[in-house]
Amino acid sequence: MKKILILLPIVCLFSVSLLAQKGGTIRGNVYDKDTGEPIIFGTVLLLGTTIGANTDEDGFYSIGNVPAGKYTLVGTYIGYDSVAVAINVVDGGIVNQRLMMKENAVQLGTVELSARREKARSDVQVSKVTVTANQIKSLPGTGGQADIAQYLPVLPGIISTGDQGGQIYIRGGSPIQNRILLDGMTIFNPFHSIGFFSVFETETIKTVDVLTAGFNAEYGGRVSAVIDLKTREGNKTRLAGLVSANPFQAKTVLEGPIKKFKEGGGSTSFLLTAKHSYINETSPMLYSYAVDTSFYKFNNDTAVGGEDLQRLPFNFTDLYGKLSFVSANGSKLNLFGFNFNDNVDYIGVASLGWNTAGGGANFTLIPPNSNLVIGGTAAYSKYDIELQEAEGTPRTSSISNYNVLLDFTYYGLNNEVKYGFEVNGMDTDFQFRNFIGNTIRQKSFTTELAGFVKLKYRVGGWVIEPSLRMQFYPSQSASNLEPRFGAKYNVSDNFRLKMAGGRYSQNLISSVNELDVVNLFVGFLTGPEERVTLPNSSEPAPHRLQKAWHAVFGTEIDLTKKLELNVEPYYKNFTQLIQINRNKLNATDPNFVTETGEAYGIDFTLRYETRKFYFWGTYSHAYVDRDDGEQVYPTVFDRRHNMNLLVTYKFGASNDWEAAVRWNLGSGFPFTQTQGFYNNFSFQDGLDSDPLTGNGDLGVVLDKKRNGGRLPYYHRLDISLKRVITFNKHSSLEAVASATNLYNRDNIFYFDRVRNQRVNQLPIMPSIGLTFNF
């Protein structure tokens, strides 16, 4: 471990020294002249040269090692007038130049320069999709309210297992193997129990980076994927907001300046959001659907009978606030806090509730006389969940988490280096009782330490991005060296090849088993400090971490100026996965079991976009297997074929109408078939029990081949029609009529073996929503 701690600073210093070439630096931010909003993924060029850069999600750009001389700096962005400024670069000097861009009075139908496509040529971007709030809102949303939880399954390699309590699975990784970040802070349970909605408010989203495999060393602590969500600042020029209501929920957003944005100066703004669901109250009046109360604890090993409720028993409340300070040179400080609640109440059967609350700060510091840009995050959160059944001991879980991140970025002419350090602490308290009454209890506090360095080189048509992460787990007395690599080759302006891969590890375990069809109780434990063995063996495992290797290859083809094709085959090798031993029969049996796994497949994405028309199509062919030492079996989220089509079209004199259609087709999930039934007599009266005359519960004999059967295909059509009525420059009314599952397809959720009853997912759900913007 000491050698690793010494190695990282040496690698960082060596990386920076590689970029320490002659010349000067040009950097700054690009803003909308009227609103102060950052211009994201805009292009900044030195006129008459090939020297330039793209802005990031904060509108920041930096061009290093620029030869001394006089230049004209040009900023361009789709829908905005170009801006040009004369600058003078000297050796060793730094030019801080803010660019203010004004929106075009007339929006052009075609623009030759595409910032997003230019970014595709200059960044590796393997298995990475960046989503904006406008893209999310283009989706036909359930209840007329689009949400990132509904948009994620539209992306390649991502599937959801159901409308109620459904979880997100990313290229063979279960939810616990995917890290969800909100402004740099880990969110442990980001999706509400109803499945359609997340804790995130769409209106506050700046960007969402979805990294489905092969992500670089900036990210760690998970073995499958990362979703990195960043929120925007509040309105910097005026008080604004919205009020919205539909049959599922109501919400409000309020934002405005404390110190107004002025050209050449800084700003201070606030952003507040609140949303509350009442579908538990409205569903009996609006939707005829019976919810089977057995589904919340149904899995492939057991089938528990339940009762039907003539309502959807879900409700939630989400609160979020943010205070942003932005200086004249682009440095900024954000303070944020949140409180998310979720409740499910099956009256007389069970009730479940969870709460997550926390807050923190993130900052970007741009020193006036240094080429380094410094960023950081410090945050704390606490997540509590409890499941109380009518008969039985409560299941509880609590996790408190703090994380501190500090990073440094140095920009060269065709090179960039970023390095940083992260401290992540987790305090967990977990209690679980299995089906025969054995209790698993864990209380622990553990700290994870990490350091990383990432280099980026542009050489000819190549963009090369090697990176290295060093992860240390003190509670396990273990360290993990995690090399990562990404590269892209621009064969031509319209054809690119790419690759990425690396090693990954994590020390966090979830109470949700990969055998579960759905389980609303999502608890968390840190990795075992006791001895663990190889799958179905008494031989000790070489470590107590979960680890994986990723490999991704792909191609990007610009078929026309508006039509793009992306193809990515991938492979993930999960060399060790750890789960709770839910079949623990004796007190001496281990609390944890291990297994290995593989996930591989190929994803196709086709995108076509004009000013009025947008098409997004994906097809995924995938395999996800696990090996528990007894047999190799497909997981319950192994979907062989998955297709998504999304079409939006704007029309009307001012494009104030928008129609959207989304269709999803997926092959059936695996399940373990039934071999027979038996009389499961409990002998609850001891010696007085008579198994000959008494009646026990109906027991189920499952097939020895795990997940050998397949459920029927799933398909669903969602539509929406939106009309925007504009009152003046700042106020408008948005009316949305939508229908989820338009042709009322009976998509199977699971089969209740005990009651011999098929349980379907949600039927057609029409709705109307209104949003007033001011």
Unique residue bearing structure tokens 């669901």? 277
- Give the other-Cβ count within 10 Å of 352's Cβ: 23
Which among 761, 745, 769 has a CA at the least distance from the CA of 289?
Answer: 761
Look at the chain and count its residues.
774
Separation of alpha carbons 217 and 423, rounded Å: 15
CB-count exposure of residue 449 (10 Å: 0-12, 13-18, 19+) = middle
User: Which pLDDT does position 298 carry in this prediction?
Assistant: 37
Q: pLDDT tens across 233-291, in order?
A: 999 999 999 999 999 899 999 999 999 998 778 899 999 999 999 988 887 777 766 55
Show Cβ contacts of residue 522 under 8 Å, excluding neighbours closer than 6 positions.
175, 188, 189, 354, 385, 397, 510, 511, 512
Separation of alpha carbons 231 and 208, rounded Å: 9
Question: Which letter does DSSP use for residue 22 in this model?
Answer: S
Q: pLDDT tens across 567-594, in order?
A: 999 999 999 999 888 777 777 788 889 9
- Alpha helix (H) ranges present in 23-132? 115-122
Unique residue bearing structure tokens 């060793």? 92
Q: pLDDT tens across 616-644, in order?
A: 999 999 999 999 999 999 998 999 999 99
User: Which pLDDT does position 110 carry in this prediction?
Assistant: 37
User: Which pLDDT does position 297 carry in this prediction?
Assistant: 45
Q: pLDDT tens across 386-433, in order?
A: 888 766 667 889 999 999 999 999 988 888 999 999 999 999 988 777
Separation of alpha carbons 385 and 661, rounded Å: 36
Lowest-pLDDT range of 163-172, 243-252, 331-340: 163-172
Show Cβ contacts of residue 392 under 8 Å, excluding neighbours closer than 6 positions.
433
User: Phi and psi at residue 670, in whole multiples of 5°?
Assistant: -75, 155
Collapsing DSSP to helix, strand or coil, 431 comes out as strand
Residues 381-390 have a mean pLDDT of 86
User: Which pLDDT does position 511 carry in this prediction?
Assistant: 80
Q: Determine which helix (DSSP H) or strand (DSSP E) holds 149, and give its type and residue range.
A: helix 148-151
User: Which pLDDT does position 306 carry in this prediction?
Assistant: 47
Which among 242, 80, 225, 73 has a CA at the least distance from the CA of 158?
Answer: 225
User: Which pLDDT does position 303 carry in this prediction?
Assistant: 37
Percent of residues in the chain assigned helix, strand, coil, to nearest 5 = 10, 55, 35
Q: pLDDT tens across 188-203, in order?
A: 999 998 888 999 999 9
Q: Are 685 and 651 in contact (CB under 8 A)?
A: no
| Token digits of residue 535 | 């799958």
Say yes or no to pLDDT of 29 above 60: yes
